[in-house]
Amino acid sequence: MTQAPEVPLIERAKLFGNPVKSQGKISPDGRRLSWLAPHDGVMNLWLAPASDPADARPMTAEKARPISQYLWAADSHALLYVQDKEGDENFLLYRVDVESGADACLTPFENTRVVIVGTSVTKQDRLLVGLNNRDPQWHDVYELNLATGELAEIMRGDGFAGFLADDSLTLRIAVRPNAEGGMDFFRIEANEVAAEPFAATTLEDAMTTQPAGFTTDGATLYWIDSRGRNTAALIGEDMTTGARTVLAEDPRADIGHVLAHPATGVVEAYAVNYLIQEWIALDAGIGATLDRLKALLKGDIEISSRTRDDRKWTVAVDPVTGPPAVYLYDRDQDELDLFYVSRPELEHAPLVPMHAVEIPARDGLTLVSYLSLPYMADVKRGGIPDAPLPMVLLVHGGPWARDRHGYNPYHQWLANRAYAVLSVNFRGSTGFGKAFISAGDLEWGAKMHDDLIDAVQWAVGRGIAQADRVAIMGGSYGGYATLAGLTFTPDAFACGVDIVGPSNLETLLQTIPPYWKPVVEQFHRRMGNPETPEGLKLLRDRSPLHKADRIVRPLLIGQGANDPRVKRAESDQIAAAMSERNIPVTYVLFPDEGHGFARPENNIAFNAIAEEFLAANLGGRCEPAGETVAASTAQFLAQAR
C-alpha cells in the first residue's frame, strides 16, 4: 500500500453527488439571488431575495434529469433554462416567472435544439433564438417575446454556421463555412446578407478566431483573433471605419474569457490561461476591484454575475484544495459575504494540490499538464512522491478542448485512492495557439497518442509512476485515446477505462449530429476525409476497432444509450469485436444517458465500477460499491470474469 492508512477515504457521493448549491447568480436589478440545488434529489432552480438568502424556494420541479444551465432574463422578471431528454442534446428553452412561479416551455418542438443568438440590455423582454425544427442541419433565427412566448421568424439559416446580433437584436453578421475549412463573415443590413464576406479564416485560424460580441451601442465589434499571429488576441474593430485595435495578446496562450460592462458591453478585463488562469484589467476601476478580491480570497476567481448598475457581483472562487465557493461582493461598501460553499462536506477532507507542469514531447513541443498525488505520498508538496506510484493517465475529451488548473473531482477521487493522476494537453488541445492545434491535424492515434506516451515516460523517468502500473482513462476523445492505447500500444498500459469513446472513426463521422454540418469540412481536414481514398484509409488505420485483436489488457467501457455525438454503436462495435475473439471486456450501458452521465446516481455507479476495476488492476484503494450500482440504471452488456 502506497498511501498511509490514516488518510480517510473520501466517499464518492461527496465528490460526485449533488452539490449543496451551484451556479449562484444575482439578478440584473440586484433584488434576487438564484442558484441550482437539489429538490427531491434532482438539481433544480431556486430563488431568494437578495436581502434574505435563507428565504428560498424551488422554482422548478424536475424529477429525473438535473438542470445544468440557466440565465436571468435581462428584465429580471424570469429565469431561463434549457433541458433535453435523457441526454439526446435536443435542448429546449424554458421560462420561469419569478413572481408567479409559472414554468413554461418557450420552444415546444420535437427533435429540436435551441441556441441563443442574441440577448439585450435595452430590449429586455426579447431574445433572438436559433431553431432547427424546419431543417435539423440549420438554425433559423427568431425573435422571441419572453412575456407572450411569440416567435417571429427573422432569417432562415440555410448554409450558415451562425449569426451575431447587436444589443438592438439586429442581425449584423452571418457566418458561413468555406471550402478552406474556415469561416466567411458577412455583414447583414436590413436582414440581407452581403454578397461578399468582410472577413474570413482558413483552417489554421478556424478554431482560434471568432467574433466576441458588440458593445451595446453597436459601434465596436470585439474579436478573439489569431489571424497574423499564433495565439489569439483580443481585438476591437470600429464598425464604421473598419479600424482594428489590438487590446491584448499573450505569446504563451490565447486570450480566453473577457469581462464586459453589463450595461455598455465594453470589455474591461480579460483572462489568459497558460499554466493557470490570470485576469488582466483594461479598466483601472475593475483592476482595483480584481486586486482587492485577489487579496481577500484564496484561489482562482471568476466574476459569475453583475448587476446592471455594476455595484454588486457574485464571485466564484476555486481554492483547488477545497470545494469551490461563491461570494456576494458589494463594491460600494467593499463587503464580501459568503453566499455558499458548493460541497461543505469536503471542507476538511484530505484534498490535494494540483501541480501545473510542462512536459517535453519527443519532437520538442511543450505539453502543459496537471499532476495530482496522494495526500501522504508527497509530504513536501513538491510534486514528486517519496516512491513511484501506480498512475492514472486521465485524458480530456474534444479533442479540441483542454485541461485546466483547479479543483477537479476526478483528480481528487483518484489521488485519494492512492494513484498519481496526470492530465495532459496533447497536441490538438485548444488554448495554446493555432500552431499547437494544427500540430494535431490528421494525428489521431499517431502524434497525439505519442504525446500521451511521452507524458507517461516522463512520469516514470521522474519517479512519479510505476511503469507497469499505469491506467489510461477518459471520455469522448479521451475514450478514443483509451482504446488507441490498448490497441496501438497494447503493452503500454495495465488497463483502460473508455467512457463514450469512438472506436471507428469512419462510422463516427457518418453519424455526427446534423447540426454539426457547418464544421464537417474541419473534421475531414483535421481527422481524415472519408470521401477520398487516402482519407478513408487513414480513418480506418486510426480506428481502434480494426485492431481489437491486439488488446491484451483489461478494458472497461461506459456508454450512454442516447448519445448523439458518439453513438452507442461505437461501444457496441468494439465490445462485439472483443467478444468474437474471446477477449474479456466489461461493458456498462446507461439507457437514460447521452454523452456522459448527467444523473449523479449513474455517474457515482459507473465510478464505483471503475474504482473496483482500477483497484483490481493497479492495486489502489477502493470504497465498497454497496448499493450504488443497483440504485442506478446501469446495464451490464458484457462482464469480464
Q: Which residues contact 21 (CB under 8 A, 6 or more apart)?
A: 35, 36, 37, 46, 326, 339, 340, 342
For 421, the grid coordinates are 493522476
For 410, the grid coordinates are 476526478
Catalytic residue, from 184, 254, 403, 563: name it: 563
pLDDT of the residue at 380: 75
The pLDDT tens digits of the residues spanning 388-433 come to 999 999 999 999 999 999 999 999 999 999 999 999 999 999 999 9
Which has the closest alpha carbon to 66: 37, 90, 88? 37
**What residues are paired with 273 via a beta bridge?**
277
Q: Is 405 a known active-site residue? A: no
* Contact call for residues 353 and 370 (beta carbons, < 8 A): no
Q: Which residues contact 530 (CB under 8 A, 6 or more apart)?
A: 506, 509, 510, 524, 536, 539
Q: Which residues contact 344 (CB under 8 A, 6 or more apart)?
A: 20, 323
Which has the closest alpha carbon to 221: 207, 238, 233? 238
Strands 366-372 and 635-638: unpaired
Distance CA 402, CA 431 (A): 7
Which has the closest alpha carbon to 434: 231, 139, 152? 231
Q: Is 563 a known active-site residue? A: yes
The pLDDT tens digits of the residues spanning 320-354 come to 999 999 999 999 999 999 999 999 999 999 999 99
Distance CA 272, CA 138 (A): 33
Distance CA 310, CA 330 (A): 9
Report the SS3 class of residue 169.
Answer: coil
pLDDT of the residue at 5: 54
Which has the closest alpha carbon to 253: 281, 280, 291? 280
DSSP label of 376: T
For cell 448527467, the residue is: 598
Q: Which residues contact 129 (CB under 8 A, 6 or more apart)?
A: 93, 107, 114, 115, 116, 117, 141, 142, 144, 151
Largest CA-CA distance found in the chain, in angstroms, rounded? 70
Chain centre distance of CA 166:
26
CATH number belonging to domain 355-504+543-638: 3.40.50.1820
For 37, the grid coordinates are 440545488
Distance CA 316, CA 323 (A): 11
Which has the closest alpha carbon to 303: 356, 260, 343? 260
Catalytic residue, from 39, 355, 396, 595: name it: 595
**What residues are paired with 118 via a beta bridge?**
128
Which has the closest alpha carbon to 610: 572, 544, 558, 573? 558
* Contact call for residues 267 and 249 (beta carbons, < 8 A): no
List the chain domain ranges. 355-504+543-638
DSSP letter string, 539-551: HHHT-GGGGGGG-
First to last CA, the chain: 25
CA distances to 32, 79, 257, 542 from 75, rounded to whole Å, are 12, 10, 25, 51
pTM: 0.96
For cell 471542507, the residue is: 347
Q: Enumerate residue ranges in the chain where pLDDT < 50.
A: 1-4
**What residues are paired with 277 via a beta bridge?**
273
Q: Is 140 a known active-site residue? A: no
Catalytic residue, from 423, 476, 571, 632: name it: 476
Distance CA 557, CA 246 (A): 47
Distance CA 544, CA 445 (A): 9
DSSP letter string, 409-444: HHHHHHHHTT-EEEEE--TT-SSS-HHHHHTTTT-T
